[in-house]
Structure 1
Amino acid sequence: MGRQLSVNNKDTVNSPQGTDLTSATNNHDLITDNITTRDELWALKDISFEVKRGEVLGIIGRNGAGKSTLLKILSRITEPTSGRAVMRGRVGSLLEVGTGFHPELTGRENIFLNGAILGMRKKEIESKFDEIVAFAEVERFIDTPVKRYSSGMYVRLAFAVAAHLDPEILIVDEVLAVGDAAFQKKCLGKMSDVATREGRTVLFVSHNMAAIQQLCQKGILLSKGQLTYNGTSNDAVNQYINMSDRVVNYLEDGFMDLGQVHDKVHQAKIFKKIRILDKDDKPRETFLLLSPIKIEVELENTENYPGSDYCVAILTPAGQWVTSSATWMYPGEKKKTPRRIVLEIPAIKFAPGMYKIYLSMAQYAAGVYIDKIENAATFYVESIDLFNSGREFTSSCGLVIPDGELSLS
């Protein structure tokens, strides 16, 4: 759904079956149907679903699945080639950084501009103004042109405006990933309040499956521009986790090529290849509890981004962070322009199951990610009779094995 312009001047857009978002009986429903394209590349195709008032819908899928295109259509930024998207109620949207604000205007002026676009009166906007500024934590810079804001400041203010200016429908893209962890948690709490306490509709795109499960009752899964699942958020997440369209090209010495990883979300090519090794430096995908593991990542083009921070994290399939290691934890490492990252864990102490490796390169002071891969590689942990009790430590016992001991007296 919606138009995208390709480099070869072939206008390609979306899909024949649109999106039913809510029934006609609701005050602010969203309806979309019969949206088609006329070229060989379909950003969205055969999409039809509905969202009722007060529902929180999670939209998930690999990068390039069509999620952002769908949100642009619903935000009236992009017109579908055919079909329709019907929304009943005021729409507040937070898409990629840079949309929605005029760069030459101050934060204050942009708040009033956005409120006016939503059809709000000046007094209505003024009644929300202090709350917006406090939530965004930009009091000192509210009269500064937003073109001088960092990415993090920009996103904080943009979310605060979108969430507080009383839209009946709130649309939020993965842009929240730019913010720090504390602000992301704050945003999730606000979106939950918007839906549960205020009875408004929320459409939420995220690669954080734990956040999708926590916030959303319903979920849809997009793959290559098509709707492959529409139902509960838990089932949508499970189907997403089990998708097998991730392409892995194995190279010499057990390395995996990262050039074709599906959920790479940034344009800079920093992470070149990765491998997972056992205690004998042999490539391996399955490890026993308490066995050592080594993760090696080869890099390129790092000289173009001096002083950047690198992070290697281990996540559950649902996107919950288990552990991470980053150069900001080791100040002496940050000054380097490395060609390789090595993370060594002497003993795996997390529960049996599948885990994925997350990589990022960022300049945190500016709130900018240079390169980020949500799922660079996966590995498996198998259980053992850890305590010689005749029982195995499983995920039902918790996510991490404690170092302490239990005693009775």
Structure 2
Amino acid sequence: MSAPAIRVEGLGKRYRIGERVRYKSLRESVSNAALRALRGERRPHETIWALRNVSFEVAPGEVVGVIGRNGAGKSTLLKILSRITEPTQGRVELHGRVGSLLEVGTGFHQELTGRENIYLNGAILGMKRAEIERKFDEIVAFAEIERFLDTPVKHYSTGMYLRLAFAVAAHLEPEILLVDEVLAVGDTAFQKKCLGKMGDVARGGRTVLFVSHNMTAVNQLCRSAVWLDEGTIAHVGAVQEAVQRYLSSGEMEGAEKRWAEGSRAPGNDRISVQAVRVVTEDGVLTNRFDRESPFCFEVEYRLLSEVLSMQVGFWLQNSEGVVVFVGGDAENQDYSGRSRPAGRYLSRALLPGGLLNSGTYYLSLGVDMPVGANVIMRDQVIRIDLSQRTIPRHSAHASWRPPGVLCLSLPWEIRQLGER
């Protein structure tokens, strides 16, 4: 039996809250410690464990998804595996050359051209010049930057930057590829292209550790998954079971999620989200509906200052992580492209009944602010259960649930065209 490509044993990473890490000399460290002792100062010891006692193995050629909410420790895990940061405890064994795509354009030099950065990034990944030259044309073609190949990357758009970064990491053939949310940025066509390339990488026998919030992509690419929850292993196993456990966990127990003022509510210096809820058409709070009944999504928020061209929206996923639809309140013509003065707001959307099949769904929140501000997201805030309306006993299909996300009652017309 061959050795695993990745072995993680008892891995832990601890950070000191409020501590600024910077490089300094031994003399500075000794003198600062002496001054603190003379003044009677004590260093704060408030710490947080980003990872704690994480253990798992990945076989050669296996594609494993890493899933979990924001702050679960996914990116910290990949940074340790990429040797960007050292673990506080535990050990990691990597058998093979490692390539990583953790952030857009990691290792790129702003003043160098796209051509020069391909060679630079390849060298950082440990590739020889001949190896880079053999893949050079494929990288450029995939990134779709032929016209701008000799332009400094500081002039590239975010999309061009991302395409080139992914192309370099995916084409330079490391034995182990670490990918962190590469599909979160870029247009739909490029995301499909990335998925296709990831599939090619997986079928090529390389080991892939794939971090993503896109459960559809995880289900499509991976056979197994590691679910991280607050820095610890919540589940390791088959991808469908891991995704379903993850989606049905945590906060999504009630029909409303409310954040108190001053708490860790979703927001920034211009907006504070106060509540997300699901209600009936008459405003009754519940997250259990007959699939034939309409229901409403509501988000309550406060604007701290006037905001131009913002959007509050939702996306709905089923129990397999498939995104059913995405919607935003910019569809309201009174506010589309217009400013919203400071104050309290309620955005409400009605979903007609009879569209979705019975089953479990998960509602997530998104707030799209103007250019220059962060997009605010909160994954799987509310769980929604849709039940099948009771079918009369004489029906031959009383116990049958049709497959698919949609279950529409269509107006059928039946005409007899003749006796024979």
TM range (shorter): 0.7 to 0.9
Q: Distance in 2 between matches of 1:90 and 1:266?
A: 40
Distance 1:167-1:378 versus aligned 2 partners, 3 A rule? same
What is the one-letter code of the residue matched to 1:54? Answer: G
The answer to whether the Cα contact below 8 Å between 2:257 and 2:381 also exists between their aligned partners in 1 is: no
Q: Any idea what SS the aligned residue of 2:375 has?
A: strand
Quick check: which has more Rg, 1 or 2? Answer: 2
The answer to whether the Cα contact below 8 Å between 1:288 and 1:383 also exists between their aligned partners in 2 is: yes
- Matched with 1:93 is 100
Distance 1:314-1:36 versus aligned 2 partners, 3 A rule? closer
- Matched with 2:26 is none
The answer to whether the Cα contact below 8 Å between 1:59 and 1:222 also exists between their aligned partners in 2 is: yes
CA drift of 1:278 comes to 1.3
CA drift of 1:313 comes to 2.2
The answer to whether the Cα contact below 8 Å between 1:286 and 1:381 also exists between their aligned partners in 2 is: yes
Which of the pair is proportionally richer in strand? 2
1:243-392 map, 5 Å: 243-245=249-251, 256-257=258-259, 271-301=273-303, 306-326=308-328, 333-338=335-340, 339-362=345-368, 370-385=375-390, 390=395, 391=397
Distance 1:270-1:107 versus aligned 2 partners, 3 A rule? farther
CA drift of 1:70 comes to 0.5
What is the one-letter code of the residue matched to 1:371? Answer: I
- 5+ residue gaps, structure 1, are 1-22
CA drift of 1:269 comes to 5.1
1:132-143 map, 5 Å: 132-143=139-150
CA drift of 1:191 comes to 0.9
- Matched with 2:6 is 30
The answer to whether the Cα contact below 8 Å between 1:62 and 1:262 also exists between their aligned partners in 2 is: no
Deviations 1:15-36 (A, max 9, x none): xxxxxxxx8636xx22333444
The answer to whether the Cα contact below 8 Å between 1:310 and 1:362 also exists between their aligned partners in 2 is: yes
Aligned residues: 379
- Matched with 1:19 is none
CA drift of 1:115 comes to 0.9
1:238 aligns to 2:244 (yes or no) = yes
Q: Any idea what SS the aligned residue of 1:229 has?
A: strand
Q: Distance in 1 between matches of 2:329 and 2:388?
A: 31
Q: Any idea what SS the aligned residue of 2:177 has?
A: strand
- Residue number among 104, 110, 114 corresponding to 2:117 in the alignment: 110
CA drift of 1:305 comes to 5.3
Distance 1:259-1:302 versus aligned 2 partners, 3 A rule? closer
Q: Distance in 1 between matches of 2:263 and 2:197?
A: 33
Deviations 1:143-180 (A, max 9, x none): 33333333333222211111111111111112421223
The answer to whether the Cα contact below 8 Å between 1:383 and 1:394 also exists between their aligned partners in 2 is: no
Distance 1:277-1:389 versus aligned 2 partners, 3 A rule? farther
- Residue number among 149, 154, 165 corresponding to 1:147 in the alignment: 154
What is the one-letter code of the residue matched to 1:106? Answer: T
- Matched with 2:51 is 44
TM-score, scaled relative to structure 2: 0.78
Q: Distance in 1 between matches of 2:267 and 2:162?
A: 18
Deviations 1:283-332 (A, max 9, x none): 22112122221212123348565234443222213321112223676677
- Residue number among 196, 200, 204 corresponding to 1:193 in the alignment: 200
What is the one-letter code of the residue matched to 1:224? Answer: E
TM-score, scaled relative to structure 1: 0.80
Distance 1:175-1:332 versus aligned 2 partners, 3 A rule? farther
What is the one-letter code of the residue matched to 1:370? Answer: V
Distance 1:255-1:226 versus aligned 2 partners, 3 A rule? closer
Q: Any idea what SS the aligned residue of 2:201 has?
A: helix
The percentage of counterpart residues that share the same residue type is 44
- 5+ residue gaps, structure 2, are 17-46
Distance 1:192-1:255 versus aligned 2 partners, 3 A rule? closer
